[in-house]
Structure 1
Amino acid sequence: MVVAGCGSSEDDGSASPATTTSEDTAAADTTAPDTGDRETDDTTASTAPATSQPVDGEAADDPACAPLAEPASIKISALQLLPYLPVHIAEHLGYFDEEGIDLTIENLRSSEALPLLGQGDIDYMIAPVSAQLFNAIDAGVELRWASPLNTANPESMNGLWVKAELFPPEEDEFDWTKMKGRTMVSSTGHGGVLTYVAGPHMLEAGMSIDDITALAMPSADLIVALENGSVDMAWAPSPFWERLVGNPDFRFVEGFPPEPASDIGIIAGPSMSDRPEVAAAFFRALMRAIEDNLQGGDYLEDEASRQLIAEAVGLEEADLDVEAPNLFDPRLDPGDLEAFTRNQQVMIDLGSLLEYDEPIPVEDLVDLRGLDAARECLS
């Protein structure tokens, strides 16, 4: 696995991994194939079954479903965290090689990756949608949402947690007016997940973005800030929320909406706008890796799978002790794309987040050509 960059490991999603060095990466790559026939040792064979097959014989014979005739290079920003797992697994086990893609993974936070994406220095970034993304598109930067990556686990309590003194046990619903003049924190601050999860409730309570202070800090630090009383509410990503479960000083308020467009997704830069066949090959590799290795929510229970995942992502096995891991759909179903319109409208209504007054049409925000072509090819 090629891991470049030195960005912080904290972002919306998961635990901070051990740093992966180039020597570690080279060692990990010794298990990856050099050709289209994946070979694994005994510890990984059970987690890398045969490649998923096309839908039917007609699709199998379709030249559009064949690996790229000419190898193509792709650079993607994907943190070494569990929500980004499909990209790391697909690279580690040679799925991208099979499709003719030379993949480089940059370990960058979304705030670092976004300008590089707009400049064409990287081709994809993995991140939740944000006000920064919407504003860049409105300014004419050719960025497009290209695919979902994971979906919320209904058993997870990855989301907003608040001091119990503001949400006592006898209350069934949180009174958002109690947040006036108080501080919320996430790894992205204003304009990200805090906004489109908390935003609708704030608007119902007659609040604006000016009624709260929203801060950004690394995921591990924001839990400490909540525990020591420095902030009143925090977005606790996996697995950090598990530290709060059972603690009477805090209560869970709400998690991600059950719609792929509001969770972590894959954003394409201008360098991918005229390479739909390369995008299709990229998504075929990703979908097959999910189908073969990450089905359901029990992929962290098998010891061989845990070893494979820890090696592929550059994590310690202790980082994989997650009660409700991220879920990955092998079809990468984009779901209800009108979520983008709703999220923009919330940001507009809250004020001071977007630099425009009307939501950007969905067709100007997304480019599903590569994903749609891959979905047609694969079962």
Structure 2
Amino acid sequence: MLSLTRRVFLASAAAAAAAFTLSGPVQAEDKPQIEFLYSPFADYAPFFIAKDLGYFDEFGLDVSLAPKSGTAETIQMLASGNSLAGAATWGAGLFNSIHQGATVTIVATLARMPDTVPSPSPFMVSEKAWQDGIRKVEDLKGKRVGIPGPGGFGLYSVAKALEKGGLTLDDVEAIYLPPPATAAAFANGGLEAGWSIEPFALQLEKEGLGRRLVEDHTFGTELGFLAFNNEFAQENEDVVVRFIAAFLKGARLLDNGGWNDEKILDIVAQYTGTPKDTLKGISYTIRSEDGSIDLDSVREQEEFFRAQGSLEYEGPIDIDTVYRTDLLEKANALLAKQ
């Protein structure tokens, strides 16, 4: 249940939304205020761009960006009303929370894996293991493999990579650790292989600690989504639509050559803490131009976690209960008017 203070805010936000038009934005003090939870990764770059290039202001919103620690935190913060918007990755915890009636509204994709190499999230082998003769996925049977956690995209990605060599997760020793820790584990021989993500993958290569072993295992896979507190989305649809429009404008800028712009790289470097020169050398996730989610990809991940015994329900989750495609369609129509 949202607090009285929050409800008063929602009412004022709705009033401000009603006063907004593209030709005459509301005054700054009247703009709806939204705190957006983000992770300091390039996947979130559209939001950094929308903030620093004034796209949120352009659509009559006062948006603040707040760092977060993970997907579980995002869903909990949104469901409780402690934050209004955020992005998270698909995973067992998210599927179970939807089944349990989590009060979040999903409105658009965050990012998906490209259909090309180099991959933004390669499966890597340590240089030490490579020199010891581990050159193929098949060679990893019984070896230690780094995975960021037991119920998210990292686990799914590693499983898909192992499939390339006829292996399963049961054939390796899973070592759970975050991507930044992989470098030390590769260096000291604590891991033979592991999941990675940019910019850490490039750093492993530059430092001579790791090599890309598999890159074509998650082509086109949906990585994450944009979501809002459910009650806020229901009572402030126009505000949500304008937020999505600003996000899509930033995403389209990036996906149509924006990564070659020095100004864009400066902005992303500021939020991610990744040096600009490093950003120039990495590969990036992408998005559908209209922000739509590939539900077939989501279903594949759901079935994977069911096979792992991580889901608390039978049959496919009813994503339609939380995915508001109508708001996404309105955002695209609003953006088309510019």
Shorter chain as denominator, the TM-score bin is: 0.7 to 0.9
* Secondary structure in 2 matching 1:237: coil
1:320 corresponding residue in structure 2:
279
161, 181, 185: which one pairs with 2:124?
Answer: 161
| Structure 2: gaps of 5 or more residues | 1-19
How many angstroms does 1:139 deviate by? Answer: 1.6
Amino acid at match of 2:299: T
Q: How does 1:78-89 map to 2 (within 5 A)?
A: 78-89=38-49
CA pair 179-65 structure 1, distance change in 2 beyond 3 A: farther
Q: TM-score, normalised by structure 1?
A: 0.69
Q: How does 1:254-293 map to 2 (within 5 A)?
A: 254=215, 257-259=218-220, 262-274=222-234, 275-291=236-252, 293=253
Q: Is the 8 A contact 1:348 1:354 kept in 2?
A: yes
Alpha-carbon distance in structure 1 between the residues aligned to 2:327 and 2:210: 47
2:3 corresponding residue in structure 1:
none
Tell me whether 1:348 sits opposite 2:311 in the alignment.
no
How many angstroms does 1:73 deviate by? Answer: 2.0
Amino acid at match of 2:196: A
1:146 corresponding residue in structure 2:
107
CA pair 203-219 structure 1, distance change in 2 beyond 3 A: closer
Alpha-carbon distance in structure 1 between the residues aligned to 2:274 and 2:245: 25
Amino acid at match of 1:259: G
CA pair 331-225 structure 1, distance change in 2 beyond 3 A: same
How many angstroms does 1:107 deviate by? Answer: 0.4
285, 288, 291: which one pairs with 1:332?
Answer: 291
CA pair 313-181 structure 1, distance change in 2 beyond 3 A: closer
Q: Is the 8 A contact 1:118 1:143 kept in 2?
A: yes
How many angstroms does 1:201 deviate by? Answer: 6.5
Amino acid at match of 2:45: L
1:299 corresponding residue in structure 2:
258
Q: How does 1:168-183 map to 2 (within 5 A)?
A: 168-169=134-135, 171=136, 174-175=137-138, 181-183=142-144
CA pair 266-227 structure 1, distance change in 2 beyond 3 A: farther
1:358 corresponding residue in structure 2:
315
Q: What CA deviation, in whole Å up to 9, does each residue of 1:66-105 have, x standing for no partner? A: 7876632222111233221110111112211121212121
* Secondary structure in 2 matching 1:164: helix
| Structure 1: gaps of 5 or more residues | 1-62
Going by fraction, where is helix more abundant, 1 or 2? Answer: 2
Amino acid at match of 1:155: V
Q: Is the 8 A contact 1:203 1:350 kept in 2?
A: no
Q: TM-score, normalised by structure 2?
A: 0.76
Alpha-carbon distance in structure 1 between the residues aligned to 2:229 and 2:173: 31
Alpha-carbon distance in structure 1 between the residues aligned to 2:292 and 2:84: 21
Q: What CA deviation, in whole Å up to 9, does each residue of 1:122-142 have, x standing for no partner? A: 122222211111111122212
How many angstroms does 1:281 deviate by? Answer: 0.4
Q: What CA deviation, in whole Å up to 9, does each residue of 1:5-34 have, x standing for no partner? A: xxxxxxxxxxxxxxxxxxxxxxxxxxxxxx
Amino acid at match of 1:96: F
Alpha-carbon distance in structure 1 between the residues aligned to 2:296 and 2:287: 21
Q: What is the aligned-residue identity percentage?
A: 22
The alignment's C-alpha RMSD in Å is: 3.4
Tell me whether 1:97 sits opposite 2:61 in the alignment.
no
In terms of mean alpha carbon deviation, does 152-161 or 86-95 score higher? 152-161
Alpha-carbon distance in structure 2 between the residues aligned to 1:243 and 1:98: 37
* Secondary structure in 2 matching 1:284: helix
Amino acid at match of 1:345: E
1:131 corresponding residue in structure 2:
92
Alpha-carbon distance in structure 2 between the residues aligned to 1:126 and 1:206: 33
Amino acid at match of 1:337: L
